[in-house]
Structure 1
């Protein structure tokens, strides 16, 4: 079936968890096979209600909003740097000239919504992510919602190896 498909833009969504490398390598292999580019995406989820409630005890609303905004900005920048380092490490480890990564995107919001938004924005023809069904987390409910609403194929690479 893959021989009939022609992927040019692969959106690779990662939580940078401990099993990220094998899933990323699968994305690179597909990009090499189809001469496609990879858009790496990491979504930072906003501060939850519990965290906001705790902070609101110590900070006035105006400070809380500023602290939350500044914290998110710093987190997004740090994650972008981590993804760049990750790509450099993979290139060195596998002696590659290119990983086919055309863009690194770090954004904030609900994971499934941001993956769908970025897939459309970057005209992705494949969404690729890792998932472990033995645990809930970034790719539990988000994966289910994603597969229900995606307009392009979603490739879920199992990444539960211990």
Structure 2
């Protein structure tokens, strides 16, 4: 494994994010690399927009504000100073690819549940990140 200068960590902000972030922090320290963090929110219109004839923009904004608060709390708890801390709205894999390209990231770190059987066939976020990234991807088993 070569050295990396900028790691992008995809966090879902659940308790399962903890080992992913800890692994990324340890790697960044060992390689004297920058670290950036991102949390992605799926747009409500993807899920409910076609079925509900109401404006969901205010609810989406509240979700983004709450995610920012939670992400800032995680950053403070781990005493890190990320190069970037992003709340993205969209498909997680696509947003991680986009942000990695925009910020010249050379390693994307995500969590993986190590699914098997039908869940594996249907795909996962980690799999989506892996099969479209222009850089290395580290999937941390959670």
Q: Show the 5 A alignment for 1:2-13.
A: 5-13=2-10
Normalised to the residue count of structure 1, the TM-score between the two structures is 0.76
Write the distance in 1 (CA, Å) between the matches of 2:140 and 2:38: 16
Mark the runs of 5 or more structure 1 residues left unpaired by the alignment: 57-63, 92-98
Write the distance in 1 (CA, Å) between the matches of 2:86 and 2:48: 25
Q: How many residues align?
A: 137
Higher radius of gyration, 1 or 2? 1
Is the 2:45–2:56 Cα contact (8 Å) retained in structure 1? Answer: no
Cα shift at 1:150: 0.8
Is the 1:32–1:100 Cα contact (8 Å) retained in structure 2? Answer: no
Mark the runs of 5 or more structure 2 residues left unpaired by the alignment: none
Task: Name the counterpart of 1:155.
Answer: 138
Cα shift at 1:18: 1.9
Q: What are the Cα deviations for residues 114-160 of structure 1, in whole angstroms up to 9, with x where unaligned?
A: 01000001110000011102385xxx53222221111110000000x
Task: Name the counterpart of 1:74.
Answer: 62
Q: 1:36 to 1:100 in 2, by over 3 A?
A: farther
User: Which one has the bigger helix percentage?
Assistant: 1
Normalised to the residue count of structure 2, the TM-score between the two structures is 0.86
